[in-house]
Amino acid sequence: MVNSTTGVQTGPRQRMRNNKGADDMLSLRDILDIFLANWKWFLLSAIVCVVLARVYLASQLFVFQRQAVMLVKDDASGTTGRRSAISTDALMQLNGVLAGTSVKNEVYILHSFQLSQEVARNLHLDVLYNYREHLRNHSLYNERPVTVDFLQPFLAPVTFKLDIKSARECHIHDVKMGKPLAVSSYTADVRVGEMLQTPFGKVVISPKDGNMKDFIGKTISVTRISIDDAAIMIMNKCTSGEIDKESTLVRITCTDTNIERADDILSGLLDAYKQSIIEDKNQMAQSTAAFIDSRIQLIHQELSEVEGKMAEFKQNSGLVDIQANAENFLTQSTTARQRTIQSEMQYSMVQYLVDYLAENSKGHNLIPTMGGISDNGIQTQIARYNEMMLSRNRLAENTSENSPTIKELDSNLSQMHSTVLASLKGYATSLKLQLDKAKAEENGILGTISTVPQKEKQVIDITRQQTIKETLYTFLLNKREETALQLAITEANIRIVEHPFGSTSPVGPRTKVITLFALLIGLAVPFTFFLFKERLNMGVRGRKDIETNTTIPVLGEIPHRKSDISDSDIIVSAHSDDVMGEAFRLLRFNTTFINKDARVIMFTSTMPGEGKTFISRNFAASLGMAGKKVVLVDTDIRKRTQSKLSSKGRSQGLTSYLSGAVDDVTSLVVRLDSACNLDMLPAGITPPNPSELLMSDRLDQCMEELKKHYDYIIVDNVPAQVVADAGIVNRIADLTIYVIREGKVDRRYLPELERLHQEGKFNHLTIVLNDCTSRNKKYGYGYGYANDEKNKSWRDKLFGR
């Protein structure tokens, strides 16, 4: 148990088992104690780190974020939702073709290297301008003072400084060029607007919109990179993606150090993207136009042949008015003839497409869109095939033919090609049956006309062929005009919902986050240092270490003494009320709880220098001040430290009595301090056999004789781990006080001390912790109660100690 009044620990072994491992645990209180004990270092570190963070922030470019939003519209219906796209994808899946999300493809194309190259080329982003003011670089764009035009193709990166001397003259210096950049000694003065031949090519420096006067006397940095590097820079600055899964809205974001440049990059990407879509549509129309032109030439030739046959037939037969001769026949066969013409025209168109697909089965050409096909399903398939082919060709421009995306699209296109071809063949078979049926009906009517001359029948056949060719020719001419109109349309299937916009406040560097991070580092660095230092300290750090590793009662704690107090000083007095004096009074009071009948109290330690001489002397003085008769016995007959400090041990002493030279021990006692009623028995002359003398019965007789004259006998013994004298003398002790100096004894020795305690090697073993400091107070429970209200620190008041 722990006595709440005295602070003496008398707990059983169970307490030590419960505290095992507590030394390695770091509680919140331990952390707070580290901060409070070293608050000046924490404050200094935090200030330094925050200042460094502010310097870092002052040297960083401001970063701004701008964005734009566009809407991808569906070509077929002009709607803005996903319903039509989903329906088309479902139709393709029913036909066995896997379809991807078209908006995702457009997002990829929008962020492609090809478009970034075009934007970099249009905005001349291969030449960068920077201006340094104080610690921070500023990226210049439209506000730059000059424009540097490089008149020769790019060969290697180059950077140089440009001093603006006046509105008409500049100075080039600090030139670096090549890969990697190498310093060049080239310098030159150049007049604005004149061409200059330099090691990195011909350049012309032109003023920019009247901005030059604001930079006179200042220096700007000019850097030239390749268009490819500029495109990569744009790709790194920009991101794009769908706003959500249920719409075709696409957000494009650009992060740059210049707001105007970010807006221009976004606008440039949107314009380039729109232009690429228009070019794709024109490509489809051009493919259709080429197909129609070839068909027109063929039909024109066939029509000419039919008309030639008609002229030749009329000339040979002598028939002039064929219509009059065939009036009755035409009246009966008009309906059948019209059906035949329509069926044959549709069949011809479908057969043309079948032949075209068969000839171009492995190419990447578009299927001509012909309006003569009345089957809406086939028209939808052809339109979807052309759309996927365009998407595939666009993606192929930005990636290799062996990429997984291209291979997947080629597989889908091949399946769709087969599907469309099969549908056309099936449709052609159906039309062929309709045509045969129409011809059969027409032939049946003609067979009934026996009065019509055979020549007139031939005329009707030729006329029918001529009508079919003329109808098909007219249809193709109309389609050519429609295709020409489509080529003239320059509208893309996107709409700009939000032009480039965004906050003018920078999004980086993140000042608050970096400052907070620097503050945390400023606190973490000293905390880590002091914690690591504490972990490396293997000495006994305080009362907590003793109680964790032993069950030995802690009798008291002696605070750190000032440097002007020596081991020979007796600092205890009747009127002293300092912490040191109060600690010895508390030590005197606590001995009664260990063994109230103890009269012989022995002091020992682990090794020399732990303060047992100082403590034993002042402890004896505190007993004397309490009105007790006390004698201090120096049993360290080897070193005689106590006797030397008192200048009392140069002649006779304890060794004289132990050796038998003197029989009256009281004659050897000398007065040490009259104010404290304290006597002393010096050690005497160092004998050649100290252990044997201490083992003799004369030591026991000495103690019995001293008990007759004194209330307490304080024995200042040798260190226990140096020689065996401590164990020999301990037989006469009623109470053993083991002095441990804080930080001197390795705390790994404490389990060994616990073993000695459990084996009873020392009588009523207790511990006094010496040289306790405030920095290790977290390992103890405080000491002293003198002037409690006056001497308590603000930290003790905070925790109510």
Banded pLDDT at 16 (limits 50, 70, 90): low
pLDDT more than 70, % of the chain: 83
- The residue-averaged pLDDT of 190-218 equals 90
DSSP string, 396-422: HHHS-TTSHHHHHHHHHHHHHHHHHHH
Identify the residue with better confidence: 751 or 102: 751
Average pLDDT, the chain: 80
Q: What number of H helices and E strands is found in the chain?
A: 25, 22
- What is the model's pLDDT at position 575? 66
According to DSSP, residue 9 is labeled B
Sheet with strand 201-207: strands edge to edge: 146-150, 201-207, 195-198
Residue range 110-155, pLDDT digits in tens: 888 999 999 999 999 999 999 988 888 889 999 999 999 999 999 9
Banded pLDDT at 471 (limits 50, 70, 90): confident
Please check the confidence at residue 88 and state whether its pLDDT lies above 50: no
Range scoring the smallest mean pLDDT among 220-229, 319-328, 751-760: 319-328
Please check the confidence at residue 217 and state whether its pLDDT lies above 70: yes
DSSP string, 133-178: ETTEEEEESTT-SEEEEE-S---S-EEEEEEE-SSSEEEEEEEEET
- What is the model's pLDDT at position 322? 53
Please check the confidence at residue 689 and state whether its pLDDT lies above 80: yes
Range scoring the smallest mean pLDDT among 181-195, 303-317, 392-406: 303-317
- What is the model's pLDDT at position 324? 57
Range scoring the smallest mean pLDDT among 171-180, 313-322, 387-396, 742-751: 313-322
DSSP string, 569-594: -----TT--SHHHHHHHHHHHHHHHH
Cα dihedral 394/399/402/403 (nearest 10): -100
Banded pLDDT at 577 (limits 50, 70, 90): low
DSSP string, 656-689: HHHTTS-S-GGGG-EEEETTTTEEEE---SPPS-
Residue 766 forms beta bridges with which residues? 737
- Phi–psi pair at 59, nearest 5 degrees: -100, -5
CA distances, 575 to each of 299, 480, 582, 762, 784 (Å): 134, 123, 11, 35, 15
Q: How many residues does the chain have?
A: 801
Q: For helices 28-37 and 39-59, what crossing angle results, to 10°? A: 80
Residue range 421-436, pLDDT digits in tens: 888 888 888 888 888 8
Residue range 519-544, pLDDT digits in tens: 999 999 999 888 887 777 777 878 88
- The residue-averaged pLDDT of 11-24 equals 51
Phi-psi region of 386 (alpha: psi -120 to 50; beta: other; left: phi over 0): alpha
Residue range 757-784, pLDDT digits in tens: 898 888 899 999 998 875 544 444 444 3
Alpha carbon 579 to its chain centroid, in Å, reads: 53
Please check the confidence at residue 170 and state whether its pLDDT lies above 80: yes
Banded pLDDT at 250 (limits 50, 70, 90): very high
- The token pair at 611 is 């303060």
- The token pair at 542 is 């305080």
346 closest CA partner among 262, 210, 260, 438: 438
366 closest CA partner among 288, 257, 458, 463: 288
- What is the model's pLDDT at position 156? 92
- What is the model's pLDDT at position 516? 94
**Number of Cβ within a 10 Å radius of residue 202:** 12
Question: What is the chain's alpha carbon radius of gyration, rounded to the nearest angstrom?
Answer: 54
Residue range 438-458, pLDDT digits in tens: 888 777 776 655 545 566 667
Identify the residue with better confidence: 659 or 459: 659
- Phi–psi pair at 448, nearest 5 degrees: -80, -15
- What is the model's pLDDT at position 213? 86
Banded pLDDT at 74 (limits 50, 70, 90): low
Q: Do residues 111 and 395 make contact, with C-beta atoms less than 8 angstroms apart?
A: no
Please check the confidence at residue 792 and state whether its pLDDT lies above 60: no
Residue range 307-321, pLDDT digits in tens: 777 777 776 765 555
- The residue-averaged pLDDT of 57-83 equals 73
Q: Do residues 683 and 636 make contact, with C-beta atoms less than 8 angstroms apart?
A: yes
Banded pLDDT at 331 (limits 50, 70, 90): low
- What is the model's pLDDT at position 6? 42
pLDDT more than 90, % of the chain: 27
- The residue-averaged pLDDT of 164-193 equals 92
Q: What is the 3-state secondary structure (H, E, C) of 253-310?
A: EEEECCHHHHHHHHHHHHHHHHHHHHHHHHHHHHHHHHHHHHHHHHHHHHHHHHHHHH
- Determine the Cα–Cα distance for residues 737 and 678; give it in Å rounded to an integer: 19
Determine whether 180 is exposed, middle or buried from the number of CB atoms within 10 Å of its CB (0-12, 13-18, 19+): exposed
